[in-house]
Structure 1
Amino acid sequence: MPGFAGALGILVAAAVATIMVVSWIWTKTDELTPVSLPSAKGTPLQTLDPSAKPTIPPEPEGNYVGSYMVAWNNDKMAGMSSAWKEDYNRISLYGGTGLWLTVHTKYDGKSDWGNHVAFGGLPKNIPYKSTPAGMREAAAQVGGRLLNRLYPGDKTKPTNVVHKSTLVNGRRVHEITARFPVKVPKLKETYSIIAIAVVDRGDGTAMVSIADLCGTTPQWLTVWRQRVAAMIIN
């Protein structure tokens, strides 16, 4: 998975595109709907109170505390190992956090490539039904979100997709694993291993863990499964 430098480049490109679109709309609006300015001797304009626009509060964030990824609701998932470092919540799981392990340092002279694991709540814009079919659908949508966020613009389809329903400490879990082909110049990887686990909390909500791993490091999939199996749900 691309490192911080790649992610930063994507954000800069997106920001430039947004500025261009806003500029075009502003220019065209002025051309199509000219507005007369009030004269200097006119009646003073009234100020509406309150003038501040309502704002949407930011989503809560998780933390890495001790050796645990701790979500906003205090649900916990143990970290992968001391070699992994605290990372940001790359696919925006609700109130979640992440971990990162660099596998290829500056593979192209400037960028890193490595493994990412995250833990948090199911994103609010993904519908959820606490049924086998509902959990399968939620896991599939998280998978689509993962690919869109971590491999933007890549239309390649995953292969070797496997769905598995199981129980973890009496809680239902739907797991998806797959391979995602990778073709990046100078990178000694041919595919990534993708894994998603949706864990039913028993109250109509779900927790999620994802893993995006280099194909040359399959041992971390076993570790990730062990951490999911030991997840602590309040």
Structure 2
Amino acid sequence: MLVVTALAATGLSAGWIWTKADAVTPVALPSEGKSIATISPSAKPSSTPTPVGKVLGTEMLAANNDSMPIMSSAWSNNYERTGLWGGAAIWLTVHKNYDGKSASWGNYVAFGQLPPDIAYKNTPAGLKEAAVQIGGRAIVNLYDKDAKVLPGTTHKAISVGGHPGHEIVAKVAVKVPKLTETYSTVMIAVIDRGDGTADVSIADIAGSTPAWQNVWRYKVSQITMK
């Protein structure tokens, strides 16, 4: 979960079809990647804005026009901070002003595409690796590079509308003064679009609000691809 003034967190629900898969060791937090070498020092590159999604009514609409229903009307519009491509996000406050001042803690959900700099193949292994990569990036972005992933991370093969996918569920340790939460549950779903790209949803749910996990899974099962 994240402090409103710093980082936000959110969750979703169940309802996808999954096959039995291996439980694995905690998610590794990958490095942010190698820098890109300059091709021509004399060429001045033009900046291409990163696409952004938006929350429109009761849906999160990614830049590619794929959509995912919001968790409920209690959740509000937020900004995408997990590293998705063309994504949108929502937020639900769980602990308002927990520090007695202005800091709040809550649940966060984002929806968008797998960033193009993450290698992707539409195979069970490729989906799993993509989920590990974007999941690690999300944890670093929502927390920091020293975030501690607790034992017990699980992996599942999933299917959304006939499209294969992969789900990761991991617990991240939380130790914040005056905050009663001790961990957050980070959930990652990567779903193949059938065109060489993948949609992604990431949920960051406070340990004290586990019911939102199934809501997230259900909303993921309702993702619509254009």
- Bin the TM-score by the shorter chain: 0.7 to 0.9
**Alignment partners' CA distance in 1, 2:52 and 2:91:** 17
Match of 1:174 among 158, 166, 173: 166
Task: Give the superposition deviation at 1:53.
Answer: 4.7
Match of 1:206 among 177, 193, 198: 198
Runs of 4+ deviating beyond 6 Å: none
Task: Give the superposition deviation at 1:207.
Answer: 0.3
The answer to whether the Cα contact below 8 Å between 1:169 and 1:229 also exists between their aligned partners in 2 is yes
Match of 1:105 among 86, 96, 100: 96
The correspondence of residues 42-53 of structure 1 with structure 2, limited to 5 A, is 53=44
The answer to whether the Cα contact below 8 Å between 1:79 and 1:227 also exists between their aligned partners in 2 is yes
Q: Of the two, which has the highest radius of gyration?
A: 1
**Alignment partners' CA distance in 2, 1:227 and 1:71:** 15
**Alignment partners' CA distance in 1, 2:52 and 2:106:** 23
Deviations 1:69-93 (A, max 9, x none): 0011110000000000000001121
The correspondence of residues 149-188 of structure 1 with structure 2, limited to 5 A, is 149-188=141-180
**Which consecutive unaligned segments of at least 5 residues does structure 2 have?**
8-42
Residue 116 (structure 1) aligned with residue 108 (structure 2): yes
**Alignment partners' CA distance in 2, 1:65 and 1:155:** 32
Larger relative contact order (CA 8 Å, sep ≥ 6): 2
CA RMSD of aligned residues (A): 1.6
Could you say what secondary structure the match of 1:210 adopts?
A: strand
Task: Give the superposition deviation at 1:215.
Answer: 0.3
Identity fraction in percent: 52
**Alignment partners' CA distance in 2, 1:148 and 1:92:** 10
Task: Give the superposition deviation at 1:194.
Answer: 0.8
Q: Which residue of 2 aligns with 1:78?
A: 69
**Alignment partners' CA distance in 2, 1:136 and 1:226:** 20
Q: Which residue of 2 aligns with 1:34?
A: none
Match of 2:83 among 75, 80, 92: 92
Q: Closer, same or farther in 2 for the Cα pair 1:155/1:168, shift >3 Å?
A: closer
The answer to whether the Cα contact below 8 Å between 1:159 and 1:180 also exists between their aligned partners in 2 is no
**Alignment partners' CA distance in 2, 1:142 and 1:71:** 16
**Alignment partners' CA distance in 2, 1:193 and 1:6:** 18
**Alignment partners' CA distance in 2, 1:53 and 1:105:** 47
Task: Give the superposition deviation at 1:154.
Answer: 2.6
**Alignment partners' CA distance in 1, 2:225 and 2:64:** 9
TM-score by length of 2: 0.81
Question: Of Structure 1 and Structure 2, which has the larger fraction of its residues in helix?
Answer: 1
Alignment coverage as a number of residue pairs: 191
Deviations 1:123-151 (A, max 9, x none): 12111011100000000011111111011
Residue 128 (structure 1) aligned with residue 99 (structure 2): no
